[in-house]
A = this chain, B = another copy of it.
Amino acid sequence: MNALGLVSTRLCPGLMGRRSAVNLPSLRFSSGMTLSQIDEEVARLLQLKAQLGGDEGKHVFVLKTAKGTRDYNPKQMAIREKVFNIIISCFKRHGAETIDTPVFELKETLTGKYGEDSKLIYDLKDQGGELLSLRYDLTVPFARYLAMNKITNIKRYHIAKVYRRDNPAMTRGRYREFYQCDFDIAGQYDAMIPDAECLKIVYEILNELDLGDFRIKVNDRRILDGLFAVCGVPDEKFRTICSTVDKLDKMAWEDVKKEMVNEKGLSVDVADRIGEYVSMQGGQDLAERLLQDPRLSQSKQACAGLTDMKLLFSYLELFQVTDKVVFDLSLARGLDYYTGVIYEAILSQTIQAPVSTPAEQNGADEAGVSVGSVAGGGRYDGLVGMFDPKGRKVPCVGVSIGIERIFSIMEQKAEASSEKVRTTETQVLVASAQKNLLEERLRLTNELWNAGIKAEVLYKKNPKLLSQLQHCEETGIPLVAILGEQELKDGVVKLRNVASREEVDVPRVDLVDEIKKRTLLS
């Protein structure tokens, strides 16, 4: 998610080309020239260049998707649909509505919400009009939506793509365009009840997706802030120390300590005190013990966080999810807007990265999220108020499921398994064994469509029966309705089961019912 400062300092070839085009001495490019005139001139020149083409007179396209993005082919879409169905069912089971927001927001809507990560935001080109940026997550647009519509309570989910100019590691499911599946509860409620439901939801989804063992780490911003205060971290260094602590899931304590002391300027004493706390993990018992801790109990903030943590665990007990949830003081999370409980779910299973490019192997890429993290979230009680003209707050808590990693795992599972993924739902292919029956095939296909049957017909005048049967084998169509002169005369259709090769004559009037009956069972 970070360490991309470097990227923007490099000039790409495209930019160079554009620059030299404008600097052509023959161009009258004076202060009297407006931007739109420049745009027109540039467009004209580029068009000219395109017409002149490559030196061979033919323009060669670069056939690729933008860096860090990918197409989904039909098989991947079938898997994606399955994953979405599980997630959406869970969100609906918990009574959520859904909303949608535009893919871009006014640039200033996103400004000041993401701390250091703001540099990863994609901006749109200024083509006259508003300055726009692609959404970086679904949380900030949600808060903008609430403030704009003066909504004070809602439980909503939102599944959509978000955009980060991050260093991609695609074999491990890290992209610049990726889906987030967000569930959030906004409203003034009694403490920790909505928070506990969010954790229940993560638990249910990861269970149902059947991705192997997982853990959900929980912490609280107030506990972290209190901890930093009592350990002697100066106020202005809370954020930066917080982001150093966040690296504990992929760096040893010794290295984290070094960063605190050498780079962030903490004294060794202070760092060691922090080290004691952030190595702690537990449950309700740990929260109770820390409430008695002579140092930590000095912080009002920490006590508030710990009291809520106790309450949270009592609800998690009722929701029967404490076997996977751990109170972990090293969990920090980067985003600026969290104010209370924070959490992150980690799969025990790791994603295999069979092919990884040298660029993906470098260290900078490892920074960001720990390899197995598939969900995260927390409480952000101040964000909506940042948008409200009168600063009215709407307390919010939510969770975001990061499904690209989940897709990667599911794809690997599908590859490994022998079961074929169907990409269509076609129930029957209308075929013929003889020539000159195209019209009859189309007529029957039309009858089936009109009756709601999923039917296909090959777009050839006289296809061979074999190629029609092969199409069924390849795409998993279970039935073939075969027409011939004799069948037409007799008012029947030969219905063939592709798997068993059984054939039976079905009266044409009964065909729809017979297909429905057979495909309901399969």
Contacts and interface: CB of A to CB of B under 8 A. Distances in A.
A129 B426 contact: no
Contacts of A320: 446, 450
A35 interface: yes
Interface string A309-334: 00000010011100000000000000
A93 to B, nearest CB: 5
Given A71-B99, A73-B99, A74-B98, A18 B454 contact: no
Interface in A52-83: 60-67, 69-74, 77, 80
Contacts of A189: 459-460
Contacts of A454: 92-95
B442 A319 contact: yes
A455 B62 CA distance: 51
A46 B106 CA distance: 13
B99 A72 contact: yes
B39 A126 contact: yes
Contacts of A238: none
A315 B42 contact: no
B99 A177 contact: no
A18 B46 contact: no
A359 interface: no
Q: How large is the interface on A (under 10, 10 to 19, 20 to 34, 35 or more residues)?
A: 35 or more
Contacts of A292: none
Contact of A459 (B9, B35, B112, B185): B185
A222 interface: no
Contact of A96 (B27, B72, B424): B424
B19 A34 contact: yes
A298 to B, nearest CB: 29
Interface in A447-496: 449-450, 452-456, 459-461
Given A66-B102, A99-B74, A106-B64, A125 B128 contact: no
Contact of A60 (B74, B185, B389, B423): B389
Given A35-B22, A103-B103, A177-B103, A128 B459 contact: no
A22 B103 CA distance: 29
Interface string A377-404: 0000000001101000000000000000
Interface stretch (A145-153, A210-218, A279-287, A507-515): A145-153
B71 A101 contact: yes
A108 interface: yes
Given A64-B106, A130-B67, A453 B124 contact: no
Contacts of A105: 65-66
A100 B455 CA distance: 23
A70 B104 CA distance: 11
A238 B69 CA distance: 39
Interface string A183-201: 0010101100110110010
A522 interface: no
Interface string A1-45: 000000111111011001100110001011110111011001100
Nearest to A153: B459
Nearest to A7: B128
A148 B63 contact: yes
A74 B158 CA distance: 10
Contacts of A61: 108-109, 386-387, 389
B15 A23 contact: no
A404 to B, nearest CB: 13
Contacts of A424: 92, 95-97
Given A424-B92, A449-B94, A453-B93, A71 B102 contact: yes
B14 A130 contact: yes
B442 A318 contact: yes
Contacts of A71: 99-102, 145, 148-149
Nearest to A389: B60
A95 B456 contact: yes
Given A12-B130, A92-B424, A189-B459, 16 more contacts: A8-B128, A14-B129, A19-B34, A22-B35, A27-B31, A35-B42, A46-B131, A50-B111, A64-B148, A66-B106, A69-B102, A71-B101, A122-B125, A124-B124, A190-B459, A320-B446
6 contacts: A42-B126, A70-B102, A77-B100, A92-B424, A96-B424, A204-B449
Interface of A: 7-12, 14-15, 18-19, 22-23, 27, 29-32, 34-36, 38-39, 42-43, 46, 50, 60-67, 69-74, 77, 80, 92-106, 108-109, 111-112, 122-132, 134, 144-145, 147-149, 154, 156, 161, 163, 165, 177, 185, 187, 189-190, 193-194, 196-197, 200, 204, 315, 318-320, 386-387, 389, 423-426, 438-439, 442-443, 446, 449-450, 452-456, 459-461
